[in-house]
Amino acid sequence: MRIENTRYEQPVLATRGLAKRYGRGCPSCYALTGADAVSNVCPRCRTVIACQGVSIDLYPKEVLGIVGESGSGKSTLIRLLHFDIEPSEGEFYLRIEDKATKKNIGTDFNGRNLVPLSPYQKRQIRNFAMGIVYQHPHLGLRMNISAGGNVAERLLMANWRNVADMRERAGELLQKTEVPVSRLDEAPRNFSGGMQQRVQIAKAMSNRPMLLLFDEVTTGLDVSVQARVLDLIRRLQKELNVSAIVVSHDLGVIRMLTSRTIVMKNGEVVESGITDQVLEDPQHSYTQLLVSSAL
Amino acid sequence: MSRSLETQPLLSVNRLCKHFIVHNRDGKKIEGFAKASFDVPKGSVLALSGSSGIGKSSVLKCIYRTYLPSNGSVVYRSRMYGTVDLAALSEYRILQLRAFEIGYATQFLKILPRVPALEVVAEPLLDGKTSPARARTEARRILGRLNIPAALFDAYPVTFSGGEQQRINIARAVVARPRLLLLDEPIASLDEASIDAVIDLLSELRDLGTTMVIVSHNSKILKSLANQVYRLPAKPNQITPCEADRLDAGASHAG
């Protein structure tokens, strides 16, 4: 018996040659920056090349890690994928297959480069297909609105209209993310860092996205809180069977959460592979340095 | 299925080489092993032997693709994808084969903290086809066979003794009854009674059709479990350019 699973071998997300530059740019920008250069600032025109030539594939139900030091372009990449910023070059594709997302936005976007779409269309895709958790809770949450209200806001964007349903869903999510339901009506500014992060996770999952993005979600939390947040992410990803991208500079986080990993330096991908291979048999000199620097 | 297919080996390693380039030390080349070649028929057990440091664990890691082979091929007759070269197969398919066909137990326990022993062992069965209750029952049965006291089932394996951790490792690798099982020194830190329990469990698995490659020095394993022993060739003294083999290695595994 052979399992017919070629459908799963097509990525749900793919980028080709994605680049982001800040500055007017010059013809030699891309050549003078990147992994082999000293930095990602063009020495000729001082343009910052936050990332360039990024081509990645994300497969169904997979967790992909993006690792690299500060300034390697990993957060830029995740913001490009979330349509927070516009790429300067490149293409971005999603394949919408799961029932819930299909029902809401159909499959018209499949196989189409999403970069030239209108802001409205991008918002549609973001609201129905994606969830994001930022390093800083204030980027993902409204600090003065109740935890429940934060989740409800996200549900409103995904066209939920019934208040009782939204309240029920918010309660259910906060329970899943181990936020005491008794604090549903309290504002996140009163919460601890770890709890704010868990409200963010609840909010990101509320619209049942096909894609979850995590940007340095445990950075700045103390270790015991970090461990709880990581355990939570691992459990939820398995339970919900979504695809996810985890950005971290911490190899421990990458090892724990991901099955494949890409390594970035100065805005470029220098290596990609199965996570245990990248960690045990790193090929690029930068990855070797990164792995040997781990505590 | 034709007879010739039946008699073809499940795993065929051909002139497999591994070396490491350490960039941060001026591109120094470290030999892992060179020109390992062996066939493992379906349902049989091959023991890898050779002195310490000769690269036995590296061979297993190359088959499992924790290491990227430098040269040569690892031809595996998979159920999911037909005959494939594990040395060159896509990452996605390697991960699928790891999930459904190929098990691996390392020498040392490398698992997630804060996960109870029973969950660690049951996890490979939770692929959507087995119910969680059945997965746990099976995990309990395997742990019992390996003499792990029931009182430890809910404890975290990081707190276990070396021998207990090793048995957790084996339990996790065998619970899903993989078609191909790679074992790295499975009994190195076990007492006599545990060794017998492990060999007993592995023999049963072999009789059910699992093919195995085992790194071990233990005479009991070699005598009662292995069908053949492969001695890894000594390392080349100095830099042997693996690249030179590329052409004939590519031509010779056509069959």
- Averaged pLDDT, A130-151: 93
- Give the C-alpha separation, B12 to B40, whole Å: 6
Provide, as residue numbers in chain A, all residues whose Cβ is less than 8 Å from the Cβ of B65. Answer: 274, 277
Average pLDDT over residues B212-228: 90
Residue B158 lies in a domain: no
**What CATH number does the domain containing B249 carry?**
3.40.50.300
Beta strands in chain A (DSSP E): 13-22, 48-54, 57-58, 63-67, 89-94, 130-133, 211-215, 243-248, 260-265, 268-274
Residue type, A54: V
pLDDT for position A239: 81
Q: Is residue B117 part of a domain?
A: no
Lowest mean pLDDT among A110-124, B145-159, B226-240: B226-240
What token pair was written down for A116?
């030239």
User: For residue B238, what are its two tokens?
Assistant: 């100095």
B116 lies in some domain:
no
Instruction: Give the pLDDT confidence of B141-156 residue by residue, as tens digits.
Output: 999 999 999 999 999 9
Domain of B24? 1-101+179-187+210-255
Contact in structure between A50 and A264 (CB atoms under 8 Å): no
CB contact under 8 A, A259 and B22: no
The reported pLDDT for the residue numbered A5 is 53
Contact between B205 and B214 under an 8 Å Cβ cutoff? The reply is no
Q: Mapping DSSP to helix (H, G, I), strand (E, B) and coil, where does residue B75 land? A: strand
Q: What distances in angstroms separate CA B75 from CA B38, B65, B82, B89, one per listed residue?
A: 11, 13, 10, 10
- Here the tokens at position B6 are 């039946």
Quick one: pLDDT at residue B244? 40
Interface test with B, best of A64, A259, A276 (most B CBs within 10 A): A276
Does position B203 have pLDDT exceeding 90, yes or no? yes
Mean pLDDT calculated for residue range A19-34: 92
Most confident stretch, A204-208, A267-271, B107-111: A267-271
The number of C-beta contacts closer than 8 angstroms across A and B is 55
CATH of A57-85+96-133+211-292, one of 1.20.140.10, 3.40.50.300, 3.40.1280.10, 3.30.750.24: 3.40.50.300
Does residue B103 carry a pLDDT above 70? Answer: yes
Q: Which of B151, B143, B147 is nearest to B175 (CA)?
A: B143
Average pLDDT over chain B, rounded to whole?
A: 87
Structural domain count, chain B: 1
Query: Can you give the length of chain A in residues?
Result: 295
Give the sheet arrangement for strand A130-133, strand by strand.
A130-133, A211-215, A243-248, A63-67, A260-265, A268-274
In sequence order, which residues have a C-beta less than 8 Å from that of residue A75 and are 6 or more positions away? A135, A215, A216, A247
**Is B249's pLDDT higher than 50?**
no
Mean pLDDT of the region B172-187: 94
Return d(Cα A220, Cα B127) in angstroms, integer. 34
Q: How confident is the model at residue B237 (pLDDT cuts 50, 70, 90)?
A: low
**B94 interaction partners in chain A (CB closer than 8 Å):** 274
- List the structure tokens of A93: 């594709």
* Residue in A227, A260, A283 nearest the CB of B68: A283
| Rounded-to-integer distance, Cα A159 and Cα A164, Å | 14
A276 contacts in chain B (CB < 8 Å): 66
User: What residue type is A233 in one-letter code?
Assistant: I
How far is Cα of residue B132 from the mean position of the Cα atoms in its chain? Answer: 25
pLDDT above 70 (res A61): yes
Residue A44, pLDDT above cutoff 60: yes
Classified as helix, coil or strand, B249 is helix
- Whether residue B245 lies inside any domain: the answer is yes
Mean per-residue pLDDT, A217-226: 85
Q: Is the pLDDT of residue A85 over 70?
A: yes
Using a CB-CB distance cutoff of 8 angstroms, which residues of chain B are in contact with residue A259? 95
Residue of chain A with shortest Cα separation from B81:
A2
Q: Tell me which of A260, A274, A275 to substitute to probe the interface with B (most B C-beta atoms closer than 10 Å).
A: A274
Cα(A76)–Cα(A87) distance, integer angstroms: 9
B69 within some domain: yes
Report whether pLDDT(B106) > 90: no
Q: What DSSP designation does B34 have?
A: E
Joined tokens for residue B18: 């591994």
Partners of residue B135 in chain A, C-beta under 8 Å: none
Domain residue ranges in chain A: 57-85+96-133+211-292, 141-209
Contacts of B19 (CB under 8 A, 6+ apart): B29, B30, B31, B32, B34, B70, B242
Would you state the pLDDT for residue B189? Answer: 81
From the CA of A281, how many Å to the nearest CA of chain B?
5
Range A115-128 average pLDDT: 94
State mean pLDDT over B107-122: 85
Q: Quickly list DSSP for B191-223.
A: -HHHHHHHHHHHHHHHHTT-EEEEE---HHHHH
